[in-house]
């Protein structure tokens, strides 16, 4: 007689240990996950995390039971075409009908990477009017002349421990407000290609006004709002998926569409260093972080063309095009091409170790 628990392991679910960093930060090396077997999993959709047969890649070490990747295209009735542009995924029914494949706000937040976190004024920042606080944190002193800080290097596709290689397009800033912001003028500035985006925040006795600006010379606000108070807590300004977002403590304050960035002149380098300006008061920050969005690199046999960049690739109906969240350290459809649907083994539904990361997982691994 076969024990019921064994039957469940064989036919219903399986347990796996993540041994590769290719899906960080969603899944980390050492994570223990539980996954439904294929028989209990419906057809995957874009942005689902799935388990695949390791036989699809002849470079997978022996003993690996499954590959874990994120599906970005899974056409069912007709081919779909995909391409990577400036680190983003574009998809559509024909090569000349591609559009940005958007993600949920929850997935965007889960894929954000911290490039630099400063808990005092360090060498990563250049400017005037800022200093480190004795108890930790930073002081922006704009009582006289404005305090101004600029990140001292390009934001690349790495994280706080690895510098990365490619200069990314979608970036962000996070200011951990030590106290409520009650007086002064704060400007947070992001750049993408030839475009400049700015969040303007002005605090007075009667409240706080907010606005988002695009290409500042025109002075046209993309969106405006007022709130009674602002802070304390993390204030985040993001440029992701052709939209600007201003958030406090993870809650949206203001957002607005910006559309694709303007092309740079031929030979011009991408300048994406964020900047901050503050005047009319003093502002204490517990920390200051530079963020970047998910960035898919063009690499691999199917991921590059002779002239450079990512080609438009056809994904046949019934196939899967998969990518790893840590694009620089993932072997996926850029190397292997579209994969037949038969290689699907299942879908994770729980993370049970380490204990501090224990949680149920939805289709996107969140």
First and final CA of the chain: distance in angstroms? 38
Q: What confidence score (pLDDT) does residue 262 get?
A: 75
- Does residue 330 lie in a domain region? yes
Secondary structure class of 216 (helix, strand, coil)? helix
Confidence of residue 221 (pLDDT cuts 50, 70, 90): confident
The string of DSSP codes covering 105-152 is: HHHHHHH-EEEEEESS--TTEEEESEEE-TTSSEEEE-SSSPEEEEES
List 114's β-bridge partners, or say none: 291
Q: Are residues 184 and 274 in the same domain?
A: yes
pLDDT digits (tens, 9 = 90+) for 109-136: 999 999 999 999 999 999 999 999 998 9
Q: Are residues 186 and 250 in the same domain?
A: yes
The whole-angstrom separation of Cα 324 and Cα 316 is: 20
- Does residue 129 lie in a domain region? yes
- Does residue 304 lie in a domain region? no
- Does residue 299 lie in a domain region? no
- Cα distances from 2 to residues 7, 12, 13, 34, 38, in angstroms, run 7, 14, 16, 21, 21
Q: Are residues 25 and 99 in the same domain?
A: yes
Q: Are residues 224 and 274 in the same domain?
A: yes
Query: Which residues lie closer than 8 Å to 198 by C-beta, 6 or more apart?
Result: 187, 188, 189, 190, 212, 213, 214, 216
Q: Are residues 183 and 89 in the same domain?
A: no
Host domain of residue 49: 4-104+310-360
Rounded average pLDDT over 250-273: 84
| Rounded percentage of the chain residues whose pLDDT exceeds 90 | 73
Q: Are residues 126 and 221 in the same domain?
A: yes
Q: Are residues 196 and 337 in the same domain?
A: no
Query: How many folded domains does the chain comprise?
Result: 2
| CATH code: domain of residue 271 | 2.60.120.200
- Does residue 297 lie in a domain region? no
Q: Are residues 99 and 144 in the same domain?
A: no
Q: What confidence score (pLDDT) does residue 267 get?
A: 77
Give the predicted TM-score (pTM) of the model.
0.90
pLDDT digits (tens, 9 = 90+) for 24-41: 999 999 999 999 987 667
Q: What confidence score (pLDDT) does residue 86 get?
A: 87
List 82's β-bridge partners, or say none: 91, 313
pLDDT of 281 above 90? yes
Q: What confidence score (pLDDT) does residue 1 get?
A: 35
Domain boundary among 292, 327, 350: 292
Q: What confidence score (pLDDT) does residue 216 get?
A: 67
- Does residue 339 lie in a domain region? yes
The whole-angstrom separation of Cα 351 and Cα 145 is: 51
pLDDT digits (tens, 9 = 90+) for 342-363: 999 999 999 999 999 999 999 9
Confidence of residue 89 (pLDDT cuts 50, 70, 90): very high
Mean pLDDT of the chain: 90
| Rounded percentage of the chain residues whose pLDDT exceeds 70 | 94
Q: Give the chain's count of helices (H) and strands (E).
A: 3, 27
| CATH code: domain of residue 347 | 2.10.109.10
- Does residue 181 lie in a domain region? yes
- Does residue 318 lie in a domain region? yes
Q: Are residues 27 and 86 in the same domain?
A: yes
pLDDT digits (tens, 9 = 90+) for 17-26: 999 999 999 9
Q: Are residues 91 and 121 in the same domain?
A: no
Q: What confidence score (pLDDT) does residue 10 get?
A: 47
Q: What confidence score (pLDDT) does residue 133 get?
A: 94
Domain boundary among 240, 260, 292: 292
Which one is predicted more confidently, 298 or 314?
Answer: 314
- What does residue 335 show for φ and ψ, rounded to 5 degrees? -100, -30
Q: Are residues 8 and 76 in the same domain?
A: yes
pLDDT digits (tens, 9 = 90+) for 143-169: 989 999 999 999 999 888 888 888 999
pLDDT of 6 above 70? no
Q: Are residues 208 and 79 in the same domain?
A: no
Confidence of residue 190 (pLDDT cuts 50, 70, 90): very high
CA 153 to chain centre: 19
């Amino acid at each position: 007689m076969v024990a019921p628990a064994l039957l469940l392991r064989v036919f219903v679910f399986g347990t796996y240990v993540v041994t590769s960093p290719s899906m960080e930060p969603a899944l980390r090396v050492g994570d223990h996950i539980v996954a439904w077997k294929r028989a209990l999993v419906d057809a995957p959709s874009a942005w689902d995390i799935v388990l695949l047969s390791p036989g699809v890649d002849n470079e997978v070490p022996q003993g690996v039971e499954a590959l874990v990747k994120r599906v970005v295209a899974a056409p069912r009735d007709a081919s779909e075409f995909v391409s990577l542009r400036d680190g983003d995924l574009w998809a559509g029914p024909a090569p000349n009908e591609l559009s940005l494949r958007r993600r949920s706000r929850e997935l965007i937040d889960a894929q954000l990477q911290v490039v630099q976190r400063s808990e005092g004024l360090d060498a990563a920042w250049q400017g005037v009017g800022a200093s480190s606080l004795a108890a930790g944190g930073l002081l922006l002193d704009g009582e006289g002349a404005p305090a101004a800080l600029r990140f001292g290097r390009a934001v690349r596709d790495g994280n706080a421990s690895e510098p990365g290689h490619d200069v990314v397009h979608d970036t962000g800033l996070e200011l951990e407000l030590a106290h409520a912001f009650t007086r002064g003028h704060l400007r947070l500035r992001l750049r993408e290609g030839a475009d400049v985006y700015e969040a303007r925040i002005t605090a007075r006795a009667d409240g706080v006004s907010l606005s988002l600006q695009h290409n500042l010379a025109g002075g046209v606000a993309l969106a405006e709002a007022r709130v009674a108070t602002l802070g304390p807590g993390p204030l985040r300004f993001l440029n992701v998926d052709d939209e600007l977002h201003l958030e406090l403590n993870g809650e949206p304050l203001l957002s607005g569409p910006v559309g694709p960035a303007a092309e740079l002149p031929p030979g011009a380098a991408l300048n994406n260093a964020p900047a901050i300006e503050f005047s009319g008061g003093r502002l204490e920050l517990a920390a200051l972080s530079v963020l970047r969005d998910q960035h898919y690199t063009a690499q691999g046999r199917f991921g590059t063309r002779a002239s450079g960049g990512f080609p438009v690739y056809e994904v046949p109906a019934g196939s899967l095009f998969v990518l790893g969240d840590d694009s620089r350290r993932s072997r996926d459809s850029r190397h292997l091409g579209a994969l037949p649907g038969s290689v699907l083994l299942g879908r994770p539904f729980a993370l049970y170790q380490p204990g501090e990361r224990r949680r149920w997982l939805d289709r996107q691994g969140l």
